[in-house]
Amino acid sequence: EKGGWDSFMDKEIHEEPAAVQRTLFGRLDEDGNINLDEVHIDEHDFKAVDKIIVIGCGTASYAGMVAKYAIEHWVRIPVEVELAHEFRYRDPILTPRTLVVAISQSGETMDTLMALRHAREQGSKVLAICNTQGASIPRESDAVLYTHAGPEVAVASTKAFVAQITAAYILGLYLAQLKGAVFRDEIHQTLDSLKAMPQKIQWVLDTQPPRVARAAEQLADANSFLFLGRHVGYPVALEGALKLKEIAYTFTEGFAAGELKHGPIALVDEGEPVVFIVPPERGRNILHAKVISGIEEVKARGAFIIAVAEEGDKDVERYADIIFWRPQCPTLMSPLVDVVPLQLLAMDMAKQKGYDVDKPRNLAKSVTVE
């Protein structure tokens, strides 16, 4: 069933272009508008939404964090993202105008299920973004937007993550369309960028694995890794850190690059591997320069720099010891490609150590207890 791959994780990473494509497919009509007839929430209710709270655990929560940046930008309503177990037991403010978006690959995560039950009891509508047809979470939600990533077997979530971001983006653009928050042209342009992403992920899969494999060999003896990013690169950093701890059992920490001088830089010592997610749009994106200055700071303290950056980024070439390249794309689309080399790195490092990448110790594919 592994279709020639030596692990499900490897196979599932290579299915990411198809996962994004299938999640987009059928949700765009001939005029290029988003059609979400499948989502059984009344247009009036959707239009009335004045706050979104995204809930999930682990990787699903990071997909939610990515979506926050995009949806707030497009729809201009506040989006909060919260770990489902924290949300459930803190008396959250919920009204009938709050849309709760529950993200879950398995659809059986008990923490997320308990949180969505709580939200519905308070009168909020719940929309599930789920990869498993007919699972408990979509069954108990008011509406569901399925990710069509196909079954995910490896415990470490990979293709579900990119499909979750895609589905959340479709939801965000749909709300923007409905509320007239963004000009039609901008929505169409954004959809075009989204439609181009499967090809760009494919480019990463076609060109970057040898680089990643070399990096994994070079870093085999490292005891700890730091992952840093800003804006949508921040949740990607958290996801990269999670992958590496889950399957290679390496101590990792991910944080917002802007936090460096507020504490974490104290951890940086000679040879410490630090992974930076460098934003695209060099010259046009103020965050690019800020991340580069973070790189300079840790480099000056002897860190070993691994960067995910846009092809041809000269600033990164100057400082980084290892670079994983991304093809050009808008900032909001970059998580869909940037996560790929980080997933591959975790997998290669785990394989090198002789671990079972599909079934890491102590973890279950779906966590059905609170």
Residue 334 binds ligand M6R (CB under 6 A): no
Residue 344 binds ligand M6R (CB under 6 A): no
Residues 344 and 336: their CA atoms lie apart, in Å, by: 14
In the complex, the smallest distance separating the C-beta of residue 108 from ligand M6R, rounded to whole angstroms, is 7
Residue 366 binds ligand M6R (CB under 6 A): yes
In the complex, the smallest distance separating the C-beta of residue 78 from ligand M6R, rounded to whole angstroms, is 24
Amino acid type, 154: A
Residue 112 binds ligand M6R (CB under 6 A): yes
Sheet arrangement for strand 224-229: 251-256, 224-229, 273-277, 304-310, 322-326
Residue 105 binds ligand M6R (CB under 6 A): yes
Instruction: Find all residues with CB under 8 Å of 297, minimum gap 6, and list them.
Output: 260, 261, 265
The pair of three-digit structure tokens given for residue 322, joined into one six-digit string: 């290892």
According to CB under 6 A, which residues from 60 to 99 bind ligand M6R?
60
Sole binder of ligand M6R in the list 7, 21, 23, 59 (CB under 6 A): 59
In the complex, the smallest distance separating the C-beta of residue 290 from ligand M6R, rounded to whole angstroms, is 29
Amino acid type, 262: H
Contact 154, 343 (CB under 8 A): no
365 flagged as catalytic: yes
Give bridge partners of residue 79 from the DSSP assignment: 52
Sole binder of ligand M6R in the list 12, 142, 246, 358 (CB under 6 A): 246
Sole binder of ligand M6R in the list 7, 23, 98, 106 (CB under 6 A): 106
Contact 124, 151 (CB under 8 A): no
The pair of three-digit structure tokens given for residue 347, joined into one six-digit string: 């997998």
Provide the total of helices (H) and of strands (E) in the chain, helices listed first.
14, 10
Considering the complex, state which of residue 110 and residue 213 has its C-beta at the smaller distance from ligand M6R.
Answer: 110
Name the residue with the smallest CB distance to ligand M6R: 58
Sole binder of ligand M6R in the list 9, 57, 79, 306 (CB under 6 A): 57
Residue 316 binds ligand M6R (CB under 6 A): no
Query: Computed from CA positions of residues 313, 317, 321, 323, in that sequence, does the dihedral angle turn out positive or negative?
Result: positive
Q: Return the beta strands (E) in 158-250 as ranges.
A: 224-229
Sole binder of ligand M6R in the list 104, 147, 252, 285 (CB under 6 A): 104
Stretch that binds ligand M6R, among 152-160, 204-212, 214-222, 332-340 (CB under 6 A): 152-160
Stretch that binds ligand M6R, among 154-162, 184-192, 280-288, 345-353 (CB under 6 A): 154-162
Contact 227, 356 (CB under 8 A): no
Amino acid type, 196: A
Residue 109 binds ligand M6R (CB under 6 A): yes
Sole binder of ligand M6R in the list 58, 172, 233, 254 (CB under 6 A): 58
Residue 153 binds ligand M6R (CB under 6 A): no
Catalytic, out of 195, 299, 353, 365: 365
Residue 157 binds ligand M6R (CB under 6 A): yes
In the complex, the smallest distance separating the C-beta of residue 9 from ligand M6R, rounded to whole angstroms, is 10
Residues 67 and 311: their CA atoms lie apart, in Å, by: 24
Residues 5 and 11: their CA atoms lie apart, in Å, by: 6
Residues 192 and 22: their CA atoms lie apart, in Å, by: 15
- DSSP-derived letter for residue 147 is -
In the complex, the smallest distance separating the C-beta of residue 62 from ligand M6R, rounded to whole angstroms, is 8
Residue 155 binds ligand M6R (CB under 6 A): yes
Query: If you count them, how many residues does the chain have?
Result: 370
In the complex, the smallest distance separating the C-beta of residue 268 from ligand M6R, rounded to whole angstroms, is 26
**Tally of CB atoms within 10 A around 321:** 15
The pair of three-digit structure tokens given for residue 289, joined into one six-digit string: 């320069």
Stretch that binds ligand M6R, among 44-52, 100-108, 143-151, 307-315 (CB under 6 A): 100-108
User: What residues line the site for ligand M6R (CB under 6 A)?
Assistant: 57-60, 104-106, 109, 112, 155-157, 242, 246, 363, 366-367
Catalytic residues: 365
